[in-house]
A and B are shown apart, each in its own frame.
Chain A
Amino acid sequence: MKTKRLVVLWSIAALLLLICACAPAARPVLEAGDSEVKLRSIQSRVFDTPDENRTMRAVIATLQDLGFVIDKANSSLGIVSATRLSGYVLKMTVSVRTRGETQVLVRANAQYNLQAIEDPELYQRFFVALSQSMFLAAHHM
């Protein structure tokens, strides 16, 4: 009798877990994983140059070096989007805007197949590549 009850309990637990696992991530439209502040600091870096155009051209060159094809860009907003195909789809949008008189703020966000990337290490790698291409150090905000 006791084993039977145990089997039923196990079954319910397993079923619940499977349902949870299969459910899509909640709030796909207005999602903001951790906190916006934390995410922004992971995805942003500051460079000591006032030249927005030069920075954006370096961003585009870096994306090309990393195997991306550029999809779209807009100079009045200072944004660029690019896609990398390599058995998976990696999409990235990067924005550049001036910060004060002497700096630019670069922000990147990326998406791997159907998921937003929130891993700080991946953004760090991108900014390392970018600062090599700009011959400038990347500062955190």
Chain B
Amino acid sequence: MRYKIVIQFIALMLGLLLMLNNCAPMVPRAALQLAPENAGQRLLQSRQFDTDEPTLLSAGTAVLQDLGFMIEDSEPAYGLISCSKHRDASRTEQMIGAFALAMFTGVMLPVDREQWIRASVVTQPVAVDTDSAKCRTAVRVSFQRIVRNQLGKVSRLESLVEPQMYREFFEKLSRSLFLEAHEL
């Protein structure tokens, strides 16, 4: 008889825990906290160009279009363009891994199928002049993605921080500025 009471007691405690958990969301401590790595990311994601803000914004839009992004919102008064694209997320090595595991264990793990990549480009005037060649404007771009597996479940929610990606973006942006300047 006694063990039944113990089981009931455990259930009661579990219920209490669940209730407490329901009341207070566990927001990670790092959220909304400026950390030293934020400064590194800012360097990675920012560049300055010798041009005025509208020119930089339109060159940026052109680069995003070159990369296949769909523009979702823009607000020139704040120097903002935000955009996204849906792409395939399947990776050969992950598929081979899942297949090998299935061969040995009979359990098929879901593999990644699609990703929603989001980006925002924000410009900020550093020096303003009537002559656009004397202007200087800063730009910051950031990418993030949501990956879903073949069951439609979210498997990754992350910021993209590969330096190569940002370097390529800024190379394309400076080429785009050159093309805009020469009206090509």
Q: Does A141 contact B (CB under 8 A)?
A: no
Across the interface, A83 reaches (CB within 8 A) one of B31, B38, B45, B144, namely B144
Across the interface, A61 reaches (CB within 8 A) one of B27, B28, B122, B157, namely B122
Chain A, Cβ-Cβ closest to B41: A67
Q: Does B73 contact A (CB under 8 A)?
A: yes
Cβ contact within 8 Å between B25 and A112: yes
Q: Which residues of B contact A57 (CB under 8 A)?
A: 78-79, 124
Knowing A85-B144, A87-B158 touch, does A17 contact B34 (C-beta < 8 A)?
Answer: no
Complex Cα gap A72–B80 (Å): 8
Q: How many residues of B contact A (CB 8 A)?
A: 48
Cβ contact within 8 Å between B5 and A6: yes
Q: Which residues of A contact B118 (CB under 8 A)?
A: 69, 71, 83
Contact string against A for B residues 66-110, beta-carbon threshold 8 Å, 1 for contact and 0 otherwise = 000000110101111010000000000000000000000000000
Across the interface, A3 reaches (CB within 8 A) one of B1, B34, B42, B75, namely B1
Q: Which of B15-23, B128-136, B165-173 contacts A (4 or more CB under 8 A)?
A: B15-23
Complex Cα gap A115–B31 (Å): 14
Cβ contact within 8 Å between A85 and B15: no
Cβ contact within 8 Å between A84 and B5: no
Cβ contact within 8 Å between A70 and B25: no
Cβ contact within 8 Å between B38 and A21: no
Contact string against A for B residues 111-131, beta-carbon threshold 8 Å, 1 for contact and 0 otherwise = 000000011101010000000
Chain A interface size, under 10 / 10 to 19 / 20 to 34 / 35 or more? 35 or more
Complex Cα gap A67–B42 (Å): 9
Q: Does B9 contact A (CB under 8 A)?
A: yes
Q: Does A136 contact B (CB under 8 A)?
A: no
- Chain B residues touching A, majority SS: mixed
Q: Which residues of A contact B122 (CB under 8 A)?
A: 60-61, 64, 70
Q: Does B62 contact A (CB under 8 A)?
A: no
Q: Which residues of A contact B82 (CB under 8 A)?
A: 69-72
Chain A, Cβ-Cβ closest to B42: A65
Q: Does B164 contact A (CB under 8 A)?
A: no
Cβ contact within 8 Å between B1 and A14: no
- Residues of A64-96 at the interface with B, using a CB-CB cut-off of 8 Å, are 64-75, 80, 82-90
Cβ contact within 8 Å between B25 and A73: no
Cβ contact within 8 Å between A69 and B73: no
Q: Which of A43-51, A99-107, A125-133 contacts B (4 or more CB under 8 A)?
A: A125-133
Q: What are 11 inter-chain pairs, A to B, with CB distance below 8 A?
A: A7-B1, A7-B8, A14-B15, A64-B120, A64-B140, A66-B34, A71-B82, A72-B73, A73-B73, A117-B27, A123-B32
